[in-house]
Structure 1
């Protein structure tokens, strides 16, 4: 009875003081939680402070966009292997720069040229290693990888689609891909990089085992989007556009002998100008059209171009683009500086051995302007004003376009002679040779030829023959000629400008003069309205002319430049109502310039220069 009373008393006491009991239990639980949390956090800090960056321990957290501070990046790799595929050396430079950055993290790094690496034997081993593989690959012609990475990419693509290899062949490979390319090539921008991403994902079977260290695709997309938005905002706010000539570009072009004008123009002394100053002969335009080569200024109001031709003699140092998006200089400034810089270059020949004093004096008064130095002159928005200024100074105009701007051709006011470069006769060969930026390049090309047919002044097709590339397309060339109906057709063998990482051309692609003559003969047989009028053997060039320029059995391919200036002034004074045609300013072609003449297009008034160990020929041949 006493025991029960005691037990009952305790229960009643607990019940009466139950709030204190609840509080004590709650405090105890809270204290336990705090102790556990503090202990765990201390252990984590201890592990982190003693961790070696190259240790295989730790987490595999992904660094977001490379923006995490270095001390917060937890790296647990054995090393980094950087693979690069480069055509011009840009990817190689990026690879070396990345290697230096990785080395600063005390990680072993190896830089590998894809052309020297066998992926079938080596890449599979990386799936089980603790290395990270970084692929830096450029995009070359038609969206293909550069030559050094061609086999690597071909193997990767075939392995991804070969059921015998298996989808898990590269499962476990940890990699990052960085693509290099020109965003102006809309259809092929970074397609080589996309090949790596697609193939690697297929190899992994679509699992999460393939870890992309940085989501470079999204980053690049966001950067491009932000850049476009910024340009739109700047344009809306009336912000000044950037200059076409960057400091690096200015340095490169200056080294090549360009005299740069303002922010997008240039002038350079032609080698034929120097040659004629010495009495060693003029260029093919002297033979075909009667220009005085020592009085010709080679210039351009636009260094930018919409193509990256394989035979470009500027080795693609000039900028590219499909529309004018740069700061723009006024035509008066361009012409004034062009004349001043050209004259300064001419004056440097004063006192040079062999230079004829009379021709040096004549050369200071520019009479012709070849708007063909580099780039696409017709892109310049004020091209008509610039041409008018040249004519007002009594300077004839030879303007060359790459047939990608048909509307600009239609809007172009009369020039002395308008050229269109016809570098190929089929869509595929034009794509391979000119490497155009425009997606609809072939339609633009055809429309440009149609626009040329509408012109009343002299028009020219300029065909550049590249052996093994475009010399077997005679019928297709004939069809294009019937479309544009040019007055003249210049056919020239490609000029080899030396080895360039931007082009695969070699001397083997340069046709012999006899081969060019054979091509022209065959082409003439397909063109009943044209005949072979002139030849300039020294330039490996021939001229086909329309039969309307053969009057009373004599070719009249030369130009009466004084008469042209009279006609163009009348045209301008009448506001364009008084028109004139190519037949209104022709002149007789001298016998020595004709095809079949013993001089082979060399002016007998000059002396042809022979290199050492060759007999000096004073006959003009």
Structure 2
């Protein structure tokens, strides 16, 4: 093996070489050499490939490429590629979400065109008619404006549904934008403005509604009427309600106060102040018509920041979460800014000792539950005021109308039927129906406040309004003694009136009946049960009238001689128009009261009182009223035509002599209602009438005995039942038969009395044949 042995011997040293040792020895040169070779190879490839061979097809949807497609040369493909890459990067970048409230567009950004029509709405509230006249005059003066302006509308706040105007701007099919003007008086009693202010405040604080729901308005301005004799300065209350409305409207509109609040003394300078304010408003309207907005940079105009004083006093407590730096007012930037937790230490006292500084919680409290920018002292407890103070305009108005105000919230007055009965000229319908002699009846109320503003109310709209009791409460015994004294005093004033009969005068000095229906809502008085108990203790019957808006009080009412509920409409919309209730859930309250009367129909006499107003609740509503009777099943249904008093407040509500039905129309309605009840098989019939009062009575068959109606009351039997403490029913004190002259078709005038017609002619009573011909 010489040859093979030689090869094996030659390779033997190589196999013995340690490759690991070689790598560790020469690894750095090997790596550097390899990297150098690769760089040279890449550079060679880059330089050897021509540039015109590189192509790029941009995406067709790129707006940049579409605009430059016809202009960019082929050699500029790389540049185009760079632009496209940038555009794609912008499109694919994630959207940045910044916390906080979105900044509202300015007035002029919102109105980029001048094609919108402008509708000026003038709102007013009035008690005496002064503000109403001023509002109508302002509407006439603004009606002369041409161009984009529509004819101004004058609206009474007492007649409106606030949700239609003060939660969002009114809805319009055409391209119309609205401008609000508000003319408001200020009184020291509760009026419709208190309810209006509550509505504005609730709307602003309602978390379901935007804090500025009226920001779509072009603007607003308020003018207030006051009386410096009662309130010399603004601090004491001069035009305070107008100021409050102005403040809340600024919040709801997003600071769109177009012109500053105007104020005038109704007895001195109101006319001149109103004229100056109107001139300023007209200038603003001209600016809006020209530019489409209120302008920028002026305090109180549109989007500009309000005054510093208003910002400080009217902190809304809103929290804005934003990662951007918020510019603070110069006066507060250094004082109120805290950028980190460590900065809290800057707020500690600098003169504190080290031991005191180690426990900052004793000297520095951080409230993590309050969202307000600054701490506020706790609100002062509400001041409970009198309903009708003696120094108030309401007290003056009521006393002029013949009322005697007892205490701070009660009243008494004698009606014209009391005066008529004293002279033997006839009593009211209550005598024909129930045997109540008008000259022995005291008409009073323990609450002058009401929760409705009925269009037919003859109280001239001067009584206060309110949905809850929030006034000083007078004791029931004080009210009871006061109203009796006031009634007797007014009866004594009739002593020298010609024609007063001595026997009637003596009877009038012994009160036997009390009609709790003078004005207001008697059932809202917190101690109404104690008051009626005092009446019953002296054997004075109680006829209580409520407006079907206080079901809780009605449910707790103890038995009275006769319980009335006013049923002025057969459906929700009619009730809203004619009663103008303040409660927003008025229809639900109304329905609940009917259910309570149905439950009480076997405990006491219950009555539905229908006041017919032509044009409101007569036409085609007999079936609707029949449905309500079927639900409540009252003992009686009184149907009476409205009495027109000719006041400015009634005229403002749309009530005129045209709304007063003729007696023939009332009769026709009663017959239609009676027929509707008969079709339902409810067991009612027409029992009595009093044509002089334009009033007719429908009674349940429970009060028909042997074919004769017994609608009158046995008052002594009622008191015996009441004093026995045992349960009783209306039939237990059902009185004698209804007199023949009072039944349906007989006219209802007491033949013992003398019928006196109006217009100064004293005529003899008509014979029955003539009465039958007339009725």
Provide TM-score, normalisation by structure 1.
Answer: 0.70
CA shift digits 1:166-211 (9 cap, x unpaired)? x8xx9xxxx99556462325786599xx998633169877885496
CA shift digits 1:19-73 (9 cap, x unpaired)? xxxxxxxxxxxxxxxxxxxxxxxxxxxxxxxxxxxxxxxxxxxxxxxxxxxxxxx
Query: Paired residue for 1:565?
Result: 719
**How far apart, in 2, do the equivalents of 1:543 and 1:273 lie?**
21
**How far apart, in 1, do the equivalents of 2:748 and 2:677 lie?**
23
Within a 5 Å distance, the mapping from 1:539-550 to structure 2 comes to: 539-550=693-704
Query: Paired residue for 1:320?
Result: 465
Query: Paired residue for 2:140?
Result: 115
Answer whether contact 2:121 2:180 (CA < 8 A) is retained.
no
**How far apart, in 2, do the equivalents of 1:481 and 1:331 lie?**
34
CA shift digits 1:207-259 (9 cap, x unpaired)? 8549645969x89x95999xxx9997425xxx6x2100032111111111100
How far off is 1:95 after superposition? 11
Of 245, 248, 261 in structure 1, the residue corresponding to residue 388 of structure 2 is 245
Query: Paired residue for 1:496?
Result: 644
**How far apart, in 2, do the equivalents of 1:536 and 1:408 lie?**
32
User: Do residues 329 (structure 1) and 474 (structure 2) align?
Assistant: yes
Gaps of 5+ in 1: 1-81, 98-110, 126-134, 572-577
- Residues 278 and 209 (structure 1 numbering): CA distance in 2 closer, same or farther, change over 3 Å? same
CA RMSD in angstroms comes to 3.9
How far off is 1:287 after superposition? 0.6
Query: Paired residue for 1:184?
Result: 195
Query: Paired residue for 2:590?
Result: 445
How far off is 1:567 after superposition? 1.0
Query: Paired residue for 1:420?
Result: 565
Gaps of 5+ in 2: 1-119, 185-191, 204-211, 220-252, 254-287, 318-375
- Residues 224 and 367 (structure 1 numbering): CA distance in 2 closer, same or farther, change over 3 Å? farther
**How far apart, in 2, do the equivalents of 1:231 and 1:318 lie?**
33
**How far apart, in 2, do the equivalents of 1:377 and 1:251 lie?**
21
Answer whether contact 1:143 1:189 (CA < 8 A) is retained.
no
CA shift digits 1:293-344 (9 cap, x unpaired)? 1000000000011100011111211111111100000110001011111001
Query: Paired residue for 2:659?
Result: 509
Within a 5 Å distance, the mapping from 1:252-271 to structure 2 comes to: 252-271=397-416
**Partner-residue secondary structure (3-state), 1:234:** coil
- Residues 549 and 95 (structure 1 numbering): CA distance in 2 closer, same or farther, change over 3 Å? closer
User: Do residues 601 (structure 1) and 748 (structure 2) align?
Assistant: yes
**Partner-residue secondary structure (3-state), 1:266:** strand
**Partner-residue secondary structure (3-state), 1:415:** coil
Of 455, 470, 475 in structure 1, the residue corresponding to residue 623 of structure 2 is 475
User: Do residues 589 (structure 1) and 738 (structure 2) align?
Assistant: yes
User: Do residues 485 (structure 1) and 633 (structure 2) align?
Assistant: yes
**Partner-residue secondary structure (3-state), 1:121:** coil
Answer whether contact 1:298 1:372 (CA < 8 A) is retained.
yes
**How far apart, in 2, do the equivalents of 1:508 and 1:249 lie?**
29
How far off is 1:162 after superposition? 4.2
**How far apart, in 2, do the equivalents of 1:263 and 1:272 lie?**
27
Answer whether contact 1:378 1:408 (CA < 8 A) is retained.
yes
Answer whether contact 1:138 1:145 (CA < 8 A) is retained.
no
Answer whether contact 1:86 1:92 (CA < 8 A) is retained.
no
- Residues 334 and 187 (structure 1 numbering): CA distance in 2 closer, same or farther, change over 3 Å? closer
Aligned residue-pair number: 484
- Residues 492 and 139 (structure 1 numbering): CA distance in 2 closer, same or farther, change over 3 Å? same
- Residues 230 and 479 (structure 1 numbering): CA distance in 2 closer, same or farther, change over 3 Å? farther
CA shift digits 1:98-152 (9 cap, x unpaired)? xxxxxxxxxxxxx961234237517779xxxxxxxxx998624123799xxx9xx
Answer whether contact 1:84 1:95 (CA < 8 A) is retained.
no
Answer whether contact 1:177 1:196 (CA < 8 A) is retained.
no
**How far apart, in 1, do the equivalents of 2:557 and 2:425 lie?**
35
CA shift digits 1:234-290 (9 cap, x unpaired)? 25xxx6x21000321111111111000000000001110000000000000011100
Within a 5 Å distance, the mapping from 1:94-243 to structure 2 comes to: 113-118=138-143, 121=146, 139-143=157-161, 162-163=174-175, 178=182, 180=184, 182-185=193-196, 198-200=216-218, 209=296, 212-213=300-301, 233-234=380-381, 241-243=384-386
Answer whether contact 1:324 1:379 (CA < 8 A) is retained.
yes
**Partner-residue secondary structure (3-state), 1:113:** helix
**How far apart, in 1, do the equivalents of 2:761 and 2:661 lie?**
22
Answer whether contact 1:499 1:506 (CA < 8 A) is retained.
no
Answer whether contact 1:85 1:145 (CA < 8 A) is retained.
no
User: Do residues 465 (structure 1) and 612 (structure 2) align?
Assistant: yes
- Residues 138 and 460 (structure 1 numbering): CA distance in 2 closer, same or farther, change over 3 Å? closer
Provide TM-score, normalisation by structure 2.
Answer: 0.57
Greater Rg by CA: 2
**How far apart, in 2, do the equivalents of 1:248 and 1:199 lie?**
35
**Partner-residue secondary structure (3-state), 1:559:** coil
**Partner-residue secondary structure (3-state), 1:526:** helix
**Partner-residue secondary structure (3-state), 1:534:** strand
- Residues 470 and 570 (structure 1 numbering): CA distance in 2 closer, same or farther, change over 3 Å? same
How far off is 1:479 after superposition? 0.7
User: Do residues 527 (structure 1) and 565 (structure 2) align?
Assistant: no
Query: Paired residue for 2:245?
Result: none
**How far apart, in 2, do the equivalents of 1:389 and 1:196 lie?**
52
Answer whether contact 1:186 1:437 (CA < 8 A) is retained.
no
